[in-house]
Amino acid sequence: MNSSNKIKAVLFDLDGTLRHHLPSGGEVFVKYIRDLGVDISEQDRIRAEHWEHRYFASSPEVQADNKKFNGDLKAFWLNFARRRLLALGLSESDADDLAPQVSRHMDTSYKPEVHVPPDAHVLLAALKEDGYRLGVVSNRDDPFQEELGRLKLDAYFHFVLAAGQVQSYKPDTLIFERALEMAGTSAPETAYIGDNYFADVVGSRRAGLMPVLYDPSRLFPDADCSVIRSFADLPGLLT
């Protein structure tokens, strides 16, 4: 790697990219439904994963739900459970019946570990040493610098940006434009790495950045962009 190459800044998504929950919420959700005797195929599971990614890409549905429930997290996640059950292929009546039980299970039993892939540290240290401008751009509402410190990631980055700070949520282009200002680079000189095709790839591409999909579970096998399965794959795309 060499910062004299075309790409001069590398920006990262946070949740699902640098920061993971183990096991994932989707895995625990589907296991619980299967344990209840509901037949969920692999195709159903993948369809629901795609739905969740699309939903949290600042979709009209999540915007409407945020407005409707207005901070009532219990009601929001109950509604989310119902929506996910529908995405898994359940009927409306079955989703209505099961959603309260599933939502309670996720609320009381889902206690995942927070995990940073070890190869992320190797990559970030190498990128910083080679002179790339590094940033984290997340759809979170609030600043997250302290959390990066707890994850031992803060020393790598020149800046962090939460969507709530600029009231612009991926895939909206404004958040990427603000990130470019903070990086001090132009869009063609900047790569963006994220796990959510609908938020990260669509949004960064619209803003003119080089999109890279981080997809270790091969959720998007037909993605029309550069794809990495591990962070070790990234350096070859920056040269």
Tens digits of per-residue pLDDT, 61-110?
999 999 999 999 999 999 999 999 999 999 999 999 999 999 999 999 99
For 34-42, what is the mean pLDDT? 97
Q: Which two tokens stand for residue 84?
A: 């996910």
What contacts 182, CB < 8 A, 6 or more positions away?
135, 158, 159, 161
Is the pLDDT at 4 greater than 80, yes or no? no
What contacts 235, CB < 8 A, 6 or more positions away?
1, 123, 126
Cα–Cα distance measured from residue 176 to residue 174, given in angstroms and rounded to the nearest whole number: 5
Q: pLDDT category, 5, cuts 50, 70, 90?
A: low
Report the pLDDT value the prediction gives residue 239, as an integer from 0 to 100: 79
pTM of the predicted model as reported, rounded to 2 decimal places = 0.94
Give tens-digit pLDDT for 44-59. Answer: 999 999 999 999 999 9
For 211-223, what is the mean pLDDT? 97
Is the pLDDT at 164 greater than 60, yes or no? yes
**Extended beta strands in 42-174, E state:** 113-115, 133-138, 159-162
Report the pLDDT value the prediction gives residue 3, as an integer from 0 to 100: 46
List the 133-138 sheet strands across, edge first.
159-162, 133-138, 9-12, 190-194, 210-214, 226-228
Is the pLDDT at 144 greater than 60, yes or no? yes
CA 135 to chain centre: 15
Beta carbons of 117 and 230 less than 8 angstroms apart = yes
Report the pLDDT value the prediction gives residue 75, as an integer from 0 to 100: 98
Q: How far apart are the first and last CA of the chain?
A: 6
Beta carbons of 123 and 94 less than 8 angstroms apart = no
Specify the CATH superfamily of domain 9-21+114-238: HAD superfamily/HAD-like (3.40.50.1000)
